[in-house]
Each structure stands twice: as structure tokens, then as C-alpha cells.
Amino acid sequence: MPRYKLTVAYDGTDFHGWQKQEPVAPDPSDPAAPKLPGAHESLEHRPGRVALRTVQHVLEQAVRETIREPIILTGASRTDSGVHAMGQVAAFTSTPDADKGVGWPESRGCESLVRALNARLPDDLLVRDAEVVSDTFNPIGDCVSKGYSYTLHLSQQRPLWDRRTVFHTWHELDLKRMQEAAQHLVGEHDFASLAAANHGRQTTVRTIFDCTVTDISSPAPAGEVAAQPTEGAFPARRLRIDVSGSGFLYNMVRILAGTLQEVGRGKIDPNQIPAVLESKDRTGAGPTLPPEGLRLEWIRYE
């Protein structure tokens, strides 16, 4: 009964997050019944329910079709709607039966499994790697750290080609102030100030291992002159926030990014961050930035 660990990447724009969702189907005869955008008839679902397009559901169905076995797929992180991933982790256990022609025995190889799964997946979802792990491997409980990034596009012109994966802000931000503030977030703290009200956790204490803010703006190609800003404007820049920790609360990274943005705008002083954390008051932190700039980069295990 081999257990497989999958490393998964996806563009979260058109997904309703990671976690499988099968809400009750609305009554078609009731004009007041709520509409459920994103419901997909092609996804398996329970009677009387509809299946929303989530990463877990799409990937789990692809695995079932590939190995012809009713497996249960467990994911490590419940990313929200619109959030992307480069290193999401999921796992399932197969029970091969050669006589019935079901399951995926180790002898068939992990590379073949990756190719077979990707052949059944849509363009915005990709299995990057597969490996056989212990039959007790738990993607959630065995996790020791996670890393996220949040990318901001600073410009008075909207981004076009990668608009689905960056957050556009019209404001110029002070990188040094943001870097100074980021260091105050490192360590074990009560992050109640940086969590959504409905985070659903018994404790809001978490440990941040590292938090950096980097200018990742691309220089103009050789032989080209960078576009000059109009009078009163500022050159377009791109900043990336990278944060790693033992775990994160609901919307914590998006609120953290919003707080650092306010520091960059001069709305919050970098030295105020310890007081913001100590207050445990959500109103003292910055806004919750939209999901498109957020990406789950990696998940690490013992």
C-alpha cells in the first residue's frame, strides 16, 4: 500500500481555493435561490450537491481516474480563492490490485505517475514531483515550516501580462522602512493583530523564522532605455515580501503584507510594529491585501 507525496503548483485565479467544497445545489425552480459561480458538472459530487472548482477536487479526481481507485487526497495548506502555489504538498495512499487492474504499485515509478496525472490536469494546475513516503506521512501534522511570498507592483500604470499574480499599488513605497519593519516580525509572537477575526485557531502565537523585502524590478533589456516617468510620477518598481514560519493564521500573510505596505507609505512607523503586535488589536495593523499577489512557495518536513 504505497503512500505518495505530490508537490503541486497552480495558478489560483480560477480556483475556489484548495479545499474541496460541495455546497447544497440551489433549487432551479426558486428564482430567489443563490447562484453558485464556479460549479462544475464535470467534477464528481454527492447527490443534491454541486462541486465548486477547487484544487483538491480537481487533483483528487485526476488521481482517481489515473489509478482507477477511490483514494482520498490530503493537502498541507488550505490556500484561499485566488492564492497561488509553487510548492503545495498533497498525499494519498494506493492499494494496488493487479488482478483488478487498479492502484499504482511502486514498480510503475513516480515519474510515470507525474506524467499520467499532468496529462489529465488543466493548464492552471501541475504536479511537479511525486515520491513514495512513509505510510504514516501526514502533510499537515508533519510540516515543520512553510514559506510564502507576496509580490507588489508599484506603478502608475497597471500591469498587464502578469496581472493575475501580482498586486498593483499606485503608491511609491520606501523599501528601507519596509525592511526595517519586517525584522520586528521575526521570532515568536502573538499575531492576533495580523489575523482575520474568524481565524478559528485556539492560539494566535506563531513563530516567524525569516521575513525579507526585496526589490526584484527587472532592468531594461540591453540596448533599450527604461521608460521615463511622467512629471510627478515615479519609476515602476516591483517588491517581493518573503516570509517563512512554523505556521500561519487565516489571512496572516496578506495582512502582514498590507502592514508592510502601510509602513512603506509612511502611514505606520517601522518601530511601531512591536506595539502593534503587543496590542493584539487587528485595527492597528494594515489592510488585508488581495489574494493575487500571494504564493505558497514551499513546505518543509523533518
Please, which pLDDT band fits residue 225 given cuts at 50, 70 and 90? Answer: very low
Whole-angstrom distance, CA of residue 12 vs CA of residue 75: 15
Whole-angstrom distance, CA of residue 72 vs CA of residue 90: 10
Mean pLDDT of 243-261: 96
Q: Is the dihedral of CA 52, 162, 147, 242 positive or negative?
A: negative
pLDDT at residue number 38: 58
pLDDT per position as a tens digit, 6-25: 999 999 999 999 999 877 77
pLDDT at residue number 280: 93
Question: Which spans in the chain are helix H?
Answer: 55-67, 110-118, 175-183, 252-265, 273-279
Measured N-to-C along each axis, helices 55-67 and 110-118 cross at an angle, to the nearest 10 degrees, of 120
> Are residues 126 and 237 both part of a single domain?
no
Q: 70 is in which domain, residue-wise?
A: 3-133
Flag whether pLDDT at 205 surpasses 60. Answer: yes
pLDDT at residue number 15: 96
Please, which pLDDT band fits residue 35 given cuts at 50, 70 and 90? Answer: low
CB 4 within 8 A of CB 130: yes
pLDDT per position as a tens digit, 50-78: 888 999 999 999 999 999 999 999 999 99
Whole-angstrom distance, CA of residue 42 vs CA of residue 15: 15
The more confidently predicted of residues 95 and 42 is 95
Strands (E), the chain: 3-10, 74-75, 84-93, 125-133, 143-154, 167-169, 187-190, 205-215, 237-245, 294-301
Residue 235 CB coordination number (10 Å): 13
Q: Record the cell numbers describing residue 90, joined without a space.
A: 498533497
> Are residues 90 and 238 both part of a single domain?
no
Residue from 244, 256, 255, 267 nearest 173 by CA:
267
Flag whether pLDDT at 30 surpasses 50. Answer: yes
How far, in Å, are 17, 22, 35 from residue 48 at the CA level? 22, 9, 15
**High-pLDDT (> 70) share of the chain, %:** 90
pLDDT at residue number 298: 98
Please, which pLDDT band fits residue 197 given cuts at 50, 70 and 90? Answer: confident
The more confidently predicted of residues 274 and 218 is 274
Please, which pLDDT band fits residue 87 given cuts at 50, 70 and 90? Answer: very high
Whole-angstrom distance, CA of residue 237 vs CA of residue 173: 9
Kindly tell me the burial class for residue 290, based on how many C-beta atoms sit within 10 Å of its own C-beta (0-12, 13-18, 19 or more).
Answer: middle
Q: Which of 14, 27, 30, 80 is catalytic?
A: 80
Number of domains in the chain: 2
Please identify, among 109, 133, 157, the residue that sits at the C-terminal boundary of a domain. Answer: 133
> Are residues 81 and 178 both part of a single domain?
no
Find the CATH number of the domain harbouring 42: 3.30.70.580
pLDDT at residue number 117: 98
pLDDT at residue number 45: 75
Kindly tell me the burial class for residue 125, based on how many C-beta atoms sit within 10 Å of its own C-beta (0-12, 13-18, 19 or more).
Answer: buried
Please identify, among 81, 114, 133, the residue that sits at the C-terminal boundary of a domain. Answer: 133
pLDDT at residue number 37: 62
Whole-angstrom distance, CA of residue 109 vs CA of residue 100: 19
Whole-angstrom distance, CA of residue 276 vs CA of residue 101: 59
Please, which pLDDT band fits residue 33 given cuts at 50, 70 and 90? Answer: low
Please identify, among 114, 133, 152, the residue that sits at the C-terminal boundary of a domain. Answer: 133
> Are residues 123 and 10 both part of a single domain?
yes
Sole residue written with cell 498587464: 160
pLDDT at residue number 56: 97
User: 11 an active-site residue?
Assistant: no
> Are residues 297 and 158 both part of a single domain?
yes
CB 4 within 8 A of CB 11: no
pLDDT at residue number 95: 95
pLDDT at residue number 229: 54
Q: Answer yes or no: is 138 within a domain.
A: no
The more confidently predicted of residues 35 and 172 is 172
Q: Answer yes or no: is 249 within a domain.
A: yes
N-to-C CA span, the chain = 22
Buried-state track 189-220, b at ≥16 Cβ within 10 A, e below 16: bebbbbbeeebeeeebebebeebebeeeeeee
pLDDT at residue number 49: 75
> Are residues 246 and 275 both part of a single domain?
yes
Find the CATH number of the domain harbouring 293: 3.30.70.660
> Are residues 155 and 287 both part of a single domain?
yes
Q: Record the cell numbers describing residue 206, joined without a space.
A: 506563531
Say which range, 28-37, 106-115, 257-266, has the weakest mean pLDDT.
28-37
**High-pLDDT (> 90) share of the chain, %:** 78
Strands 74-75 and 187-190: unpaired
On average, the pLDDT of the chain sits at: 91
Q: Answer yes or no: is 9 within a domain.
A: yes
Sole residue written with cell 443534491: 48
Flag whether pLDDT at 39 surpasses 80. Answer: no
pLDDT at residue number 292: 97
> Are residues 16 and 122 both part of a single domain?
yes
Flag whether pLDDT at 44 surpasses 90. Answer: no
